Amino acid sequence: MAEKLGKPIGLTAKPTHSQEFYDSVKRKFAEERDLRLKYRPQGLSQYTSELTGALAKYEVDTYAGAVTPREPINDTVECLFVGGGFSALLTSARLREVGVESIRIVERGADVGGTWYWNRYPGVACDVVAYDYLPLLDELDYVPKDHYAGGPEIFAHCQAIARKYDLYKLATFQTTVTSTVWDEAEQMWHIATDRGDHMKARFVICANGILTKPKLAKIKGLETFKGHSFHTSRWDYAYTKPDLSGLEDKVVGIIGTGATAVQAVPGLGAAAKELYVFQRTPSSIDIRDDWPTDPNWARKLGPGWQARRRERARMEPRMTEEQKAKQAATSPEEKIRRQENANMEAMMRIHQRIDQVVKDKATAEALKPWYMLMCKRPCFHNDYLPTFNRPNVHLIDTHGKGINEITEKGPVFGGRQYEVGVLIYATGFEVQKTGTYNQIKGANGLDINDKHREGVRTLLGIHSQGYPNLFVMGGLQASFQFNFTDIAEAQGEYIAACIDYVRRHGYQSLDATPKAEEWWVQEVIEHRGKTTFNQECTPGYYNFEGEFQRRQDGNYNGGFFQYCNHLNEVCARMDAHFAFTNKPLTSD
């Protein structure tokens, strides 16, 4: 199947059209973006993740059952992780390697896994090659079953890491951190939770993940819907049944067509009596070039094979002398023009594939994305487009407008009521919001959100001056990678090295100096906003739904290679970047 489909189109497509053609495509991209910005000038606030009151049911854990009662915990650990996904697992593994024994994961879910705990919708999988995405493969002596891993395999791998590094022993599940307050005299963090716990920790690592809290579009009448409804990250298998046979006699609606919906729709289309897919902006759907792992290849890998792959991901892209000379001779405008043309070419091939696969012409047209590749998370799927050839599957394209009204019977669009028995929200997650839910107060009592109100200020996206021994993973001002575990691994190694340094020198804490923080803020500012790519994109979470952002309030855009270099530089000269305290502890 995969061989017949061929290789993904990616950005390898060579421009074949005239410049006039590309100019006209670019104009169409701009029109489509402007249409959406006009419909939603409110930007990020079109969504809510305040899932309380009538909306609280959308956040309830559908996998764990009732919360297991336990006594509040009042103890002290050395390292405490807020969140138990890959960031925490990877960093814990590195901490174990430097001899840290006292590690606690505090996690809202009933197990480790983070994203892979919550996202269990039918078809869930990762679009990053499994040999790169799944971390600690050398350490666990594991080779993924296929080129791309499915959700259950990844979740099981998370559990295997937790077992291997003995992380279940101190973990507290079904527990949400509510506040994290630094006690300067004790040189300790005090952590309160929704279970009445009062824990202390020398080091706190915010490993909350980048897409953590489910969000819903603020749609008029959403809470009045009388049928069954849930968010994709809280899949209700008790209702749908694990094989989705519970949907056989149901009319199902799904709102949203992002990366999650693209994976869920084929299964839903096959199972439901009728499926309505409510689309606001189509995703770009490339070929998923998947295959089972060749056992002969796996046998020959040899020790350290994944570490070598990771090393390659961190390397500066290599260019021949000829390529370098060509680059130097090309003006910045020309470089951008060529990149844009290649990008548009790729999108036109994605359009062609839609025409080849989707039989109904109007549906095919509606499924065509009109924006540059990478404006939204690119998707890879072989069954999503063919699903629209099923007679029971209906695409309701809202031409950028979205569903703005739901009645007790279901969504309304264009004056038509769509009556559905089940409504599934594939409307995504809040992005990079560390510290918003678990209030973080630093050395001078300042809430970290108040500090960042005038502009995010960090060192490497990890430390913030005035918040000693606090490490943020996957936060703003850090590099952002398509393969999330690349960044989690780089940051995890770095954080373990920092903690090891503090312990070896007999210090109690480290805190970024104001000078080091200012250096990093300027680095971030220098590298952001060099091109207008983000501004020109259709709104989505990659560009803060088209909202204006200060240059410092985003990710570090100097490249992963440079980011890793900076991590290494800071590690090599710790005393130039941090203030250390070696006060004795006053308690415990």
Secondary structure class of 297 (helix, strand, coil): helix
- Report d(CA 164, CA 135) in Å as an integer: 13
DSSP string across 395-442:
EEE-TT----EEETTEEEETTEE---SEEEE---EEES-TTSSSEEE-
Our finding on whether 373 is near ligand NDP (CB under 6 A) is no
CB of 485 or CB of 508, closer to ligand NDP: 485
Give me the least distance between CB of 218 and ligand NDP, in Å please: 8
Considering only residues 105, 205, 426, 462, which one is a binding residue for ligand NDP as defined by CB under 6 A? 426
Our finding on whether 382 is near ligand NDP (CB under 6 A) is no
Per residue, the 3-state secondary structure of 371-387, as one string, reads CCCCCCCCEECCCHHHH
Give me the least distance between CB of 539 and ligand NDP, in Å please: 6
- Give residues 342-361 in contact with ligand NDP (rule: CB under 6 A): none
Alpha carbon distances (Å) from 546 to 33, 36, 533, 535 = 9, 9, 12, 7
Binding mask 282-311 for ligand NDP (x = CB under 6 A): ------------------------------
The residue behind tokens 């959406």 is 36
Considering only residues 257, 465, 479, 491, which one is a binding residue for ligand NDP as defined by CB under 6 A? 257
Our finding on whether 259 is near ligand NDP (CB under 6 A) is yes
Give me the least distance between CB of 260 and ligand NDP, in Å please: 3
- Give residues 205-234 in contact with ligand NDP (rule: CB under 6 A): 211, 217, 219
Give me the least distance between CB of 37 and ligand NDP, in Å please: 11
Our finding on whether 117 is near ligand NDP (CB under 6 A) is no
| Phi, psi dihedrals of residue 345, rounded to the nearest 5° | -60, -45
CB of 442 or CB of 546, closer to ligand NDP: 546
CB of 280 or CB of 527, closer to ligand NDP: 280
Give me the least distance between CB of 18 and ligand NDP, in Å please: 30
Give the range of 51-59, 252-260, 432-440, 441-449 binding ligand NDP by CB under 6 A: 252-260
- Give residues 383-412 in contact with ligand NDP (rule: CB under 6 A): 402-403
Contacts of 118 (CB under 8 A, 6+ apart): 63, 109, 233, 234
Our finding on whether 468 is near ligand NDP (CB under 6 A) is no
CB of 13 or CB of 265, closer to ligand NDP: 265
CB of 248 or CB of 365, closer to ligand NDP: 365
Alpha carbon distances (Å) from 153 to 150, 236, 515 = 6, 20, 44
Contacts of 217 (CB under 8 A, 6+ apart): 46, 47, 255, 402, 403, 425, 427
Considering only residues 136, 177, 261, 367, which one is a binding residue for ligand NDP as defined by CB under 6 A? 261
* CA terminus-to-terminus distance, the chain: 62
Buried b (16+ CB within 10 A) or exposed e, 427-443: bbbbbbbbbebbebbbb
Paired with 77 in beta bridges are 201
| Phi, psi dihedrals of residue 315, rounded to the nearest 5° | -80, 150
Considering only residues 377, 390, 409, 503, which one is a binding residue for ligand NDP as defined by CB under 6 A? 377
**Contact call for residues 208 and 115 (beta carbons, < 8 A):** no
Our finding on whether 427 is near ligand NDP (CB under 6 A) is yes
- The number of angstroms, rounded, from the C-alpha of 252 to the middle of its chain's C-alpha atoms is 27
Considering only residues 83, 109, 246, 258, which one is a binding residue for ligand NDP as defined by CB under 6 A? 258
Give me the least distance between CB of 368 and ligand NDP, in Å please: 14
Our finding on whether 421 is near ligand NDP (CB under 6 A) is no
Paired with 417 in beta bridges are 412
Considering only residues 120, 200, 280, 351, which one is a binding residue for ligand NDP as defined by CB under 6 A? 280
Strands 103-106 and 76-82: parallel
DSSP string across 75-111:
-EEEEEEE--SHHHHHHHHHHHHTT---EEEE-SSSS
| Number of residues binding to ligand NDP, judged by CB under 6 A | 25
- Report d(CA 321, CA 466) in Å as an integer: 46
Give me the least distance between CB of 438 and ligand NDP, in Å please: 22
Contacts 24+ apart (CB under 8 A), 162-166: 162/84, 162/89, 162/105, 162/112, 164/93, 164/136, 164/139, 164/140, 165/89, 165/92, 165/93, 165/96, 166/96
- Give residues 512-551 in contact with ligand NDP (rule: CB under 6 A): 540-541
Strands 509-512 and 578-581: antiparallel
Give me the least distance between CB of 311 and ligand NDP, in Å please: 23
Give me the least distance between CB of 313 and ligand NDP, in Å please: 17
Our finding on whether 247 is near ligand NDP (CB under 6 A) is no
Give me the least distance between CB of 329 and ligand NDP, in Å please: 37
Our finding on whether 281 is near ligand NDP (CB under 6 A) is yes
Give me the least distance between CB of 247 and ligand NDP, in Å please: 20
Give me the least distance between CB of 133 and ligand NDP, in Å please: 8
- Give residues 119-158 in contact with ligand NDP (rule: CB under 6 A): 126-127
Buried b (16+ CB within 10 A) or exposed e, 298-317: eeeeeeeebeeebeebeeee
Give me the least distance between CB of 194 and ligand NDP, in Å please: 25
Q: Find the length of the chain.
A: 588
Give me the least distance between CB of 384 and ligand NDP, in Å please: 11
Give the range of 96-104, 197-205, 259-267, 331-339 binding ligand NDP by CB under 6 A: 259-267
Summarize as ranges the residues that interact with ligand NDP (CB under 6 A).
Answer: 126-127, 211, 217, 219, 255-261, 263, 278, 280-281, 377, 402-403, 426-429, 540-541
